[in-house]
Amino acid sequence: AKKHKFWETQPVGQFKDVGDTSLPEGPIEPPTPLSEVKQEPYNLPSPYEWTTCDMDSEETCNEVYNLLKNNYVEDDENMFRFNYSKEFLRWALRPPGYYKSWHIGVRAKTSKKLVAFITGVPARIRVRDEVVKMAEINFLCVHKKLRSKRLAPVMIKEVTRRVHLENIWQAAYTAGVVLPTPITTCQYWHRSLNPKKLIDVGFSRLGPRMTMSRTIKLYKLPDQPATPGFRKMELRDVPAVTRLLRNYLSQFVVSPDFDENDVEHWLLPTEDVVDSYLVESPKTHDITDFCSFYTLPSSILGNQNYSILKAAYSYYNVSTKTPLLQLMNDALIVAKKKDFDVFNALDVMHNESFLKELKFGPGDGQLHYYLYNYRIQNALRTSELGLVLL
């Protein structure tokens, strides 16, 4: 198998251990006494130094935004690159109980330029019946000009060290590449909202025997949601949405353990960051269903007519009365109304039940989910995963 020099030294499920039922589910290594956690940062190659990125600072937030805008994840054909907005980054990195020290940058000592970034945010993740305090690790980015200098392993060790200093011993993360060892592997699906633009920029191709006008008609959506009582979520809905979401997520093997503070942060609508809607029964005023999606535009690399693709990503959805198919169609309708070009979803939770029927098409590449220092006996089905990372 491919040599994973770094990951074979880490407390993660190793490929050689897959199927070994003698290894118990749960933490792989016990916590270290805090006095034994390395107190000083790991050594970087001499031209570089650590920096903590204060996302409250307009200037630093700008530096992080530009580093990611120019150097973060691209599609496999290098036609698009994620373009996380500054307000999205502030939202993603400052949830309840966050640690500034987990927003880690690397600067060139001479120019002081930000050349790499990695982050963690605290989260309570339930794995089967255990609620575990974890760090969600994200936004690992090394400037294109500094690739294969082995910076990523030392950045991962440094964020791990800072997480350990807060007495947290597990983490969750995703990657587009296979590392030891995925707890599940998901597929991206895309639903065209603006097929003409998607075809113009090369995201989609005109189907065989299809004309452009036939394609536009195929993806046309009503002007208004179909479900009576479908409305934007408001602050007063937090308690009811928390109850609804906790109940729904309890069916999955791995899912966030959201409380009202978490729901207020992660799911209350924030302009150009996250949108959430619910169904309030017109008769009983009960809140019976919920859907949400986050805003993550992509830069279009090398197209004369367009520079940005507006993408909505399915986040957390709960259906108890309204069929999930109808609820998600209403999500597509409001996303189209808000001028999104495409609506993305992973085949997690119950998403498989609506993807094909709502005209989603499979995307390129997969998303692998990982837990750090926590063994899961057997890989999960994607329908057993109730966790969406940004």
Ligand X SMILES: COc1cc([C@H]2SCC(=O)N2c2cccnc2)c(CCCN2CCN(C)CC2)cc1O
Catalytic center residues: 390
- Restricting to residues 68-107, name those near ligand X by CB under 6 A: 73-76, 80-82
Q: Which is nearer to ligand X, 170 or 204 (CB)?
A: 204
CB of 138 to ligand X, least distance (A): 14
Q: How far is the CB of 173 from ligand X (least distance, A)?
A: 14
Contact between 200 and ligand X by CB under 6 A: the answer reads no
Residues 349-368 contacting ligand X, CB under 6 A: 363-365
CB of 175 to ligand X, least distance (A): 8
Q: Is 344 in the site for ligand X (CB under 6 A)?
A: yes
214-243 positions binding ligand X, by CB under 6 A: none
Nearer to ligand X, 177 or 235 (CB): 177
Q: How far is the CB of 299 from ligand X (least distance, A)?
A: 7
Binding map of ligand X across residues 145-174, x = CB under 6 A, - = no contact = ------------------------------
Q: Is 294 in the site for ligand X (CB under 6 A)?
A: no
342 lines the binding site for ligand X (CB under 6 A): yes
Q: Is 343 in the site for ligand X (CB under 6 A)?
A: no
* Residue among 26, 41, 176, 269 that touches ligand X (CB under 6 A): 176
Pick 102 or 203: Cβ nearer ligand X: 203
- Give the C-alpha separation, 139 to 390, whole Å: 9
Residue ranges binding ligand X (CB under 6 A): 73-76, 80-82, 176-177, 188, 203, 298, 309, 311, 342, 344, 363-365
